[in-house]
Structure 1
Amino acid sequence: MDKEMIVSWMEEGMVQIPSVLLNKYKQIGLDEKELVLLLHIQFFMDRGNEFPTPEQLCERMSITADECSAMLGKLVQMQLIAIEEGMSEEKIRFEKYSLKPLWIRLAEELIAEKKQQDLEHTLHDEHDLYTVFEQEFGRPLSPMECENLAMWLDEDKQDPSIIKAALREAVISGKVNFRYIDRILFSWKKNGVKTIEQARMQGSQFRQRATKQGSKVISHEPSNKIPFYNWLEQ
């Protein structure tokens, strides 16, 4: 193969496109021809022609100039491209294409997708949370208890993992009731506890303190006593 031909290919450059455009073009209402048209617009813009004509664009595609014009109009109506006014150094006004609306739409699509994933994750965690509580209580939760759980999640903005940690702390202390768990959550929030590790550290520190002060201990097995901290005395 001729070396000069390879060099000319390299000098021609490449069209850089975000992979998210290839992944999401269908979701934002584009078909394959419209996608390729956008790529050609980007190609021309990268090379200094910010407002290629339908004739220039259709030469690179299997569509007519009229079809190209119609597609461009549709993309403008869909708010995926914009026609802006520019000013040259010689103070001459000119029109140019902008793909900024396209990037904004893709960003909105990613944000919406992330929110949906977060919502699904939250719903799963909340369902799992109710299940864990019912397992530890050994019975279905009462309407009032369900309301307490909802309040911790919705009003207090407690993370489900932190609520589970507070439940475990209550189990260790032998006081599996909502009043005791609520007091643990209140204390943790006051002390800035936001992670499982911080919660474990708080529980460990309080139990060490309780041991030093000669507080009561509880045991599931008489041979393995575990000191607990009475959160109600906080």
Structure 2
Amino acid sequence: MISLEEYLANGQTTVSNLLLKNYARLGLSTFECMLWLQLLAANQAGNDFPDLVNVAESMGIGKEKIYNLLGDLINKGFVVLETVQDEHGRQKDRYNLLPAYEKLAVLKEQERFQVEQQTEEQAIKKMYQSFEQEFGRPLSAIEYQRIGQWLDEDHYSPDLIALALREAVLNQAYNLTYIDRVLLSWERKNIRTKQQVEEEQKRRKQILLQKEEVKGSEELPEVSLYNWLKEKDSDAK
């Protein structure tokens, strides 16, 4: 049975689960990934240029196989063989493993972009459906073209266009001309998000309320400043 001292003396290798979950999607075979992990283990132990013969023995494969695997890792851009200077100014070789992390970062960024693209496509589809639902009819070719210009040329987001549609519906203006004016008004005020639209609506509402308060105060009847209580006191005498 292995002792705790021996277990701790052999150290541990820290690797991101993202790499373990995505190595196949990155284009690594299981043997290539295992070799990369062996190089990582050596690197974290302070040896950035381990003997591949020892690595082959650990993996239970032959020397020819290990060299072929290393060549594949280098050709695929997961490992870079570098020549650097040590602290004494002497040249030495090392395996740079950082490119694997860079490839992983690119993969996750591509996934994020795909998710955002799918989300935007769904938002656009929902927006078109909202137009037809509120207008009570299918959109014409010209209307599709105009809405497409808002998206592609003016770069309005589907959510912003949907909010402008809601503004038009509230004012019973079922036409694109009114919606276009709303979008232009928001653009002049640098309003590009739902939160900014809501803030602008609150601001407008406060202005209207203030105007109503001022108007209400102006229409109040004049009230005499006569002190009726004083007159009652004098009568009592």
RMSD: 1.9
Give the distance between the partners of 1:177 and 1:82, measured in 2 at CA: 61
TM-score norm. by structure 1 comes to 0.84
Matching residue within 134, 146, 169 for 2:167? 169
Counterpart residue number, 1:62: 60
Secondary structure of 2:59 counterpart: coil
Secondary structure of 2:66 counterpart: helix
TM-score norm. by structure 2 comes to 0.83
Q: Where do 5+ consecutive residues of structure 2 fail to align?
A: 213-237
Matched residue type, 1:105: K
Question: Shift of the alpha carbon at 1:210?
Answer: 5.5
Flag the structure with higher helix content: 2
Secondary structure of 1:95 counterpart: strand
Counterpart residue number, 2:47: 49
Secondary structure of 2:151 counterpart: helix
1:84-103 matches, cutoff 5 A:
84-103=82-101
Secondary structure of 1:97 counterpart: strand
1:193-208 matches, cutoff 5 A:
193-206=191-204
Percent identity over paired residues: 31
Question: Shift of the alpha carbon at 1:208?
Answer: 5.4
Question: Shift of the alpha carbon at 1:194?
Answer: 2.7
Counterpart residue number, 1:35: 33
Matched residue type, 2:133: Q
Question: Shift of the alpha carbon at 1:14?
Answer: 1.4
Secondary structure of 2:48 counterpart: coil
Q: Which runs of 4+ in 1 moved over 4 A?
A: 207-214
Structure number, greater radius of gyration: 2
Counterpart residue number, 1:139: 137
Matched residue type, 1:34: E
Quickly say closer, same or farther: Cα 1:92–1:169, change in 2 above 3 A: same
Give the distance between the partners of 1:92 and 1:123, measured in 2 at CA: 57
Quickly say closer, same or farther: Cα 1:102–1:62, change in 2 above 3 A: same
| 1:184 is the counterpart of 2:182 | yes
